[in-house]
Amino acid sequence: MPPAEARQRLDAEGAAYAQPSPRQLYVHDDLSDLVRRRHGLESPAAELTRELFALLARGPDRVRVLTLSEQLDRVIAQGDHAPFEVAIGIGRAGERVAEALHAREGWFPRVVVVGLTREEDGRGGYRLASTEPADLASQLARVGEPASLAIVDDTVFSGLTMRSVLEGLPPAVRSRTHAFCLRGVTASIDSIAALCPITAGVSAAGRLLHDVSFINASGLVLRISIRRQGQPPLAFFDRPDWIRAWFPGADAEVLAVCRRLNALLEAERR
């Protein structure tokens, strides 16, 4: 595909998934620790990461940075649980949350990862896609019928992913299930609560995208967050209009720092 045609296609896809400016944007900081571990505190990548978060801090009334520890604290503060026989981690993100909670509370001695994600269909909508060779039903069959089951994810945004996992379980198993997430939109969390109890660290009320949005800081700079059907994933900085919507007034600087940080972080993966 010629470069001009590729750019036109990307622009059209970006327009189809336009982002409004939310009244409250939550940014989960999964980037600082990643950069520290891989590059060190005094590295150029670490300096750029600090610069990025300083830019985000310019809008404290609109942008709230969330740390992993505070979200774990909020989940744990809502009550203790006996160890679950099995925990389903939705994707690697869900697995990491389950491991972090288990390290502190011992709730999830056995975690089964279900590879499931939401991806753009190229027509303005989204579809669920398995990240494993097996489909969702086959992956859930590995779980069996445990006496107690947890489902763990990092974010409940639309609720599509977690709801699909719950609805794929036998009713008897679902009746013995408890869901966990670090953060989510209140209405979506409530839709999960109609299927099983759920504990959420941060619950934000309002309309999706317009009133409240959640993003991972890593997705600003790494091509991991925008998944597209049949195409490579994108970073948020690949959609400059999204950066403008999320960080009005600081967007040009945020975009520049994201691109520079991406160049450093992507170089190590080659």
Quick one: pLDDT band at residue 7, thresholds 50, 70, 90?
very low
Is 230 contained in some domain?
yes
Closest alpha carbon to 82 in 140, 143, 150? 150
* Domain match, 105 and 185 both: yes
Last residue of a domain, one of 168, 202, 236: 202
Q: How many domains does the chain have?
A: 2
Positive/negative CA dihedral, 216, 220, 221, 225? positive
* Domain match, 24 and 140 both: no
* Domain match, 159 and 185 both: yes
Positive/negative CA dihedral, 82, 83, 89, 92? positive
pTM of the model: 0.91
* Domain match, 198 and 253 both: no
Helix 251-267 and helix 32-39, axial crossing angle in degrees, nearest 10? 40
In 10 A of CB 36, how many CB atoms? Answer: 14
* Domain match, 127 and 215 both: no
Is 248 contained in some domain?
yes
* Domain match, 262 and 171 both: no
Q: Between these two residues, 267 and 122, which has the higher pLDDT value?
A: 122
Please give the pLDDT value at position 228: 93
Whether residue 94 is predicted with pLDDT greater than 80 in this model: the reply is: yes
Last residue of a domain, one of 187, 202, 217: 202
- What are the C-alpha distances in Å from 223 to residues 57, 65, 211, 234? 23, 20, 26, 4
Residues written for the chain: 270
Please give the pLDDT value at position 59: 80
Residue owning tokens 């600082």: 32
Model confidence pLDDT, tens digit, residues 135-173: 999 999 999 999 999 999 999 999 999 999 999 999 999
Is 14 contained in some domain?
no
As a whole number, mean pLDDT of residues 213-232 equals 95
Whether residue 269 is predicted with pLDDT greater than 90 in this model: the reply is: no
Distance CA 268, CA 221 (A): 13
* Domain match, 85 and 107 both: yes
Model confidence pLDDT, tens digit, residues 21-56: 999 999 999 999 999 999 999 999 999 999 999 999
* Domain match, 141 and 173 both: yes
Quick one: pLDDT band at residue 12, thresholds 50, 70, 90?
very low
Is 5 contained in some domain?
no
* Domain match, 185 and 225 both: no
Structural domain range at position 190: 68-202
- What are the C-alpha distances in Å from 7 to residues 3, 11, 14? 6, 6, 10
Q: What percent of the chain has pLDDT above 90?
A: 87
Whether residue 109 is predicted with pLDDT greater than 60 in this model: the reply is: yes
CATH number at residue 136: 3.40.50.2020
Amino acid, res. 59: G
In 10 A of CB 22, how many CB atoms? Answer: 22
Please give the pLDDT value at position 87: 98
